[in-house]
């Protein structure tokens, strides 16, 4: 792939997608960015990127459930980065059909378009949630898949389709499996923005779900660089393979909350909220990554530790203009 080449991104207006768009432009690419069609003509987080970045970005409204709009997005691109998905676990309990439509059928549409147009590289996005609670740690890509929520099941369905397209048609797909990603622009559905956002909004009592699960938190700029790494590595190093992206570190939600309190210089009164606690068999209790395969294939490694990433995230949420984009007083699912 040459620099200044055109690449296409689905889910570009979202949290990781908007950071990836910036990373791709910084690396010299022109980006055709799909934002999901909506009647407000909202481009999500893409609206907040710098004018210099946006000069290199063509924003198109579309929907991955519609193969025509995926075709128009991908035509002429040297790579497609497929991030569009429904991602909230609690909402997947309520609206599972929409998860299958978006995460399974949407991924099938992307695979078909990439295959028919002969696009040289597709980066498909998986998630560490497909592993379920760790049976062995750290989790390598050979760990069993155990889908404990409709969200995880729909993502694993997309992953299996991606594997099958590589096996059946030689489609040049590589699957990136990020562990929990955090940073500026993340939705309040996730734990870190929930805590930081509530504190920044002046709430005295912080309400959370189960405090025991542990996660491997990866700063979003490092996740974006992992996408770029697998999107640009020589085909023989990555195509047809799945790569974890994570730090290898682990922290419980309870400890994480205490750390955020310390960094924000505040004493947190943390309460468990029944509404936020997941069914016991659906809660993934432990996730920690082994990202050796990604490092060996591409040289990627994380560039931020947890505290550095948290400080940048706190700075983002303390800016009133950013905080105003969130609803801190409700349970965001
Ligand atoms: N955030 C994490 O910790 C994490 C971890 C592992 C994997 N992932 C994966 O990374 C990707 C991006 O997640 P995110 O955290 O940025 O979430 P996000 O919700 O901010 O981004 C997803 C984007 O997909 C778009 N989208 C949803 N349905 C669509 C449709 N039918 N057509 C077109 N676009 C549609 C949404 O509008 C949104 O902008 C997802 O595939 C997710 O499964 C996220």
User: 275-293, pLDDT tens digit by residue?
Assistant: 888 899 999 999 999 999 9
Per DSSP, the three-state class of 145 is coil
Pocket test for ligand 1, best of 87, 103, 110 (most atoms within 8 A of CB): 87
Q: What is the rounded distance in angstroms from the CA atom of residue 68 to the CA atom of residue 113? A: 9
Give me the pLDDT at residue 292, please. 98
Q: Write the residue with the smallest CA distance to atom 6 of ligand 1.
A: 127
Per-residue model confidence (pLDDT) at position 243 = 99
105 vs 267 pLDDT, higher one:
105
Between 267 and 98, residue with greater pLDDT: 98
pTM of the complete model = 0.97
The confidence score (pLDDT) of residue 304 equals 98
State pLDDT tens for residues 295-314: 999 999 999 999 999 999 99
Q: Tell me, using a 6 A CB cutoff, whether residue 36 lines ligand 1.
A: yes
Identify which of 12, 13, 15, 183 to mutate to test ligand 1's pocket (most ligand atoms within 8 A of the CB). Answer: 15
Element (H, E) at 35: strand 30-36
How much of the chain exceeds pLDDT 90, in percent?
89
C-alpha 14 to ligand 1 mean position (Å)? 6
Q: What are the residue ranges of helices labelled H in 44-136?
A: 51-54, 67-74, 89-94, 96-99, 106-117
Give 97-151 pLDDT, tens digit per residue. 999 999 999 999 999 999 999 999 999 999 999 999 999 999 999 999 999 999 9
The per-residue pLDDT for 205 is 87
For the chain, give the longest Cα–Cα distance: 57
C-alpha to C-alpha distances, 47 to 7, 43, 136, 275, nearest whole angstrom: 19, 6, 42, 33
Phi/psi of residue 128, nearest 5 degrees: -60, -20
Q: What is the mean pLDDT of residues 263-278?
A: 88
CA of 5 to the centre of ligand 1 (A): 24
At 199-216, the pLDDT tens digits run: 999 887 888 999 999 999
**Using an 8 Å Cβ cutoff, are 20 and 79 in contact?**
no
pLDDT at 168: 98
Whether 61 has a pLDDT exceeding 70, the answer reads yes
DSSP code, position 304: -
For the segment 220-265, what is each residue's pLDDT rounded down to a tens digit? 999 999 999 999 999 999 999 999 999 999 999 999 999 999 999 9
pLDDT grade for 273, boundaries at 50, 70 and 90: confident
pLDDT at 7: 98
Q: Which of 142-146, 174-178, 188-192, 217-221 has the lowest mean pLDDT?
A: 188-192
CA of 13 to the centre of ligand 1 (A): 9
Catalytic residues: 151
Are 211 and 254 spatial neighbours (Cβ–Cβ below 8 Å)? yes
Gap between the Cα atoms of 196 and 199, Å rounded: 5
Ligand 1 center–CA 101 separation, angstroms: 14
All structural domains of the chain: 6-186+219-246+289-303 (3.40.50.720)
Q: Is the CB of 123 under 6 A from ligand 1?
A: no
Q: Identify the pLDDT of residue 3.
A: 59
Burial 215-248 (b: 16+ CB within 10 A, else e): bbbbbbbbbbbbbbbbbbbeeeebbbbbbbbbbb
Give mean pLDDT, residues 22-32: 98
């Amino acid at each position: 792939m040459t620099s200044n080449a055109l690449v296409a991104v689905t889910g570009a207006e979202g949290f990781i997608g908007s950071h990836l768009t910036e990373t791709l432009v910084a690396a010299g690419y022109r980006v055709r960015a799909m934002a999901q069609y909506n009647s407000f003509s909202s481009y999500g987080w893409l609206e907040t990127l710098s004018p210099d970045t946006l000069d290199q970005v063509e924003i198109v409204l579309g929907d991955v459930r519609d193969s025509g709009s995926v075709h128009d997005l991908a035509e002429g691109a040297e790579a497609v980065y497929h991030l569009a998905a429904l991602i909230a676990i609690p909402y997947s309990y309520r609206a599972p059909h929409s998860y299958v439509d978006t995460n399974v059928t949407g991924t099938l549409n992307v695979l078909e378009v990439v295959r028919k147009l002969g696009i040289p590289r597709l980066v498909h996005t998986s998630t560490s949630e497909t592993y379920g609670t760790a049976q062995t740690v750290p989790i390598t890509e050979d760990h069993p898949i155990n889908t404990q929520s409709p969200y995880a099941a729909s993502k694993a369905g997309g992953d299996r389709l991606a594997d099958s397209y590589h096996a059946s048609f030689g489609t040049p797909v590589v699957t990136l499996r990020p562990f929990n990603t955090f940073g500026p622009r993340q939705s309040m559905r996730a734990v870190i923005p929930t805590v930081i956002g509530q504190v920044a909004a002046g709430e005295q009592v912080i309400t959370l779900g189960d405090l025991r699960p542990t996660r491997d938190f990866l700063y979003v700029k490092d996740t974006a660089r992992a996408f770029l790494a697998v999107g640009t590595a020589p085909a023989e190093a990555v195509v047809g393979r799945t790569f974890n992206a994570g730090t290898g570190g682990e922290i419980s939600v309870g400890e994480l909350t205490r750390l955020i309190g310390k960094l924000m210089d505040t004493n947190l009164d943390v309460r468990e909220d029944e509404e936020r606690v997941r069914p016991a068999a659906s809660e993934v209790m432990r996730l920690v990554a082994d990202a050796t395969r990604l490092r060996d294939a591409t040289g990627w490694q994380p560039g931020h530790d947890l505290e550095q990433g948290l400080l940048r995230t706190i700075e983002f949420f303390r800016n009133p203009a950013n905080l105003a984009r969130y609803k801190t007083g409700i349970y965001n699912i």
